[in-house]
Amino acid sequence: MTGAAGGPADRSGYGDGTRCVHAGLPEPVPGEPFLPGPVFAAPYHLDPAAGPEATPNGYGRPDNPTRRGLEAAIGELEGGDCLAFASGQAAITAVLLSVLRPGDTVLLPADGYFPVRAFATQTLEGIGVRVDFVPTAGPYPALDGVRLVLVETPANPGLDVCDVAELAARARAAGALLAVDNTAATPLGQQPLDLGADLVVASGTKALTGHSDLLLGYVASRNTELLATVRAWRTTTGSIPGAFDAWLAHRSLATLDLRLARQSANAAAVAAAMRDRRDVSGVRWPGLPDDPAYPVASRQLRRMPGIVSFDLGDAGRVARFLAASRLVFAATSFGGLHTSADRRAQWGDDVSAGFVRFSCGVEDTADLLADLHAALDAAGGR
């Protein structure tokens, strides 16, 4: 497993399950755990004479070995170098603020994660950055004069997709940078850097870590200079994840392939079942062959996400459905082990009152479908 000259092992030839189990782990040492325990340190002991030059660890804000292990793991899966952040928002705002300058133009998704839009209008416009919102499915305007394009594909919560390779070619021709929010797909579902994106940003809070017990974000890139700028930003602002959260995240990555496989299979079954019900409308899942996102999604995604969206008509019916269900819990976020549903209008998303983002967990498909049908029947009509 050792790479050339003791460098990181090249595991790119292995399948997803194998890569997840081994991602970012050091060479095994007899008597030591596979995943070294978390290192908690604010300052570290320094060499009295050589100072910080003598070890990779000097102070906890820039340096933490547990965080570096997690970054090696995510970097392996994304196919680039990785920087971990305290949350997805910390990662996304780090890219926006370290790349954009007054007078620059940025394109952001009109139908993406709403706090990014709020940040853009409240903060970016306030410092003289021009912000244009574009629907994920396009059409995208001419990119001349644009500094950065951020897309979210599949988009949360509407699940539209955009063609990353095509947009990357257009961005490169226009001298713009392309960043892709890979939260919904995860690096196993989509490889934006291979498709030509300059940067990946993501929330690791969702399916990547999947246990609904931590917040995490990351930025990945093959552009060393760009990543150095983002790293300097992180060191200065201190938007780092704690050692224990980084360790929990790394531990959780080992099962990513297994979790996604079940979540995606559950989503396929839920989407088909919901589409066949006369009392559910607007079913969206990029893996449904008649979904508007399918033509691009089926080429671009290596696996379909575990999220389905649909409309139950009004807030009351969503509440009755959730009260009647024994396996679906009301919760925001997505990608966790437990199936959850979120009525997005309650958070201010620009969607109808009965719009539900449904996040499939890893329960048995038959149990989930039976519960879903029973709860919808009990919830009654509109």
Residues in contact with ligand PLP by CB under 6 A are 87-89, 92, 113, 152, 156, 181, 183-184, 203, 205-206, 215, 217
Whichever of 243 and 273 has its CB closer to ligand PLP, that residue is 243
Tokens matching residue 183: 């939260």
Question: Shortest distance, CB of residue 354 to ligand PLP, whole angstroms?
Answer: 21
Q: Residue 263 is inside which H or E element, if any?
A: helix 256-275
Tell me the residue number closest to ligand PLP, measured at CB: 88
A 10 A CB-CB count for 257 gives 18
Whichever of 251 and 320 has its CB closer to ligand PLP, that residue is 251
Compute, in degrees rounded to 10, the torsion defined by CA atoms 329, 334, 335, 339: 10
Question: Shortest distance, CB of residue 187 to ligand PLP, whole angstroms?
Answer: 14
Question: Shortest distance, CB of residue 225 to ligand PLP, whole angstroms?
Answer: 25
Question: Shortest distance, CB of residue 71 to ligand PLP, whole angstroms?
Answer: 16
Whichever of 79 and 115 has its CB closer to ligand PLP, that residue is 115
Whichever of 214 and 369 has its CB closer to ligand PLP, that residue is 214
Q: Which of the 8 DSSP states describes residue 332?
A: S
- Asked if 307 contacts 354 with a C-beta cutoff of 8 angstroms, the reply is no
Whichever of 137 and 375 has its CB closer to ligand PLP, that residue is 137
CA distances from 7 to 3, 67, 204, 262 (A): 5, 18, 26, 34
Q: Which of 79, 96, 75 is nearest to 204 (CA)?
A: 75
The one-letter amino acid code at 137 reads: A
Whichever of 92 and 369 has its CB closer to ligand PLP, that residue is 92
Question: Shortest distance, CB of residue 316 to ligand PLP, whole angstroms?
Answer: 26
Question: Shortest distance, CB of residue 109 to ligand PLP, whole angstroms?
Answer: 9
Whichever of 158 and 313 has its CB closer to ligand PLP, that residue is 158
Question: Shortest distance, CB of residue 201 to ligand PLP, whole angstroms?
Answer: 8
Compute, in degrees rounded to 10, the torsion defined by CA atoms 260, 264, 270, 273: -160
Give the DSSP letter string of 125-194. GGGT-EEEEE-TT------TT--EEEEESSPTTT-----HHHHHHHHHHHT-EEEEE-TTTHHHH--TTT
CA 102 to chain centre: 28
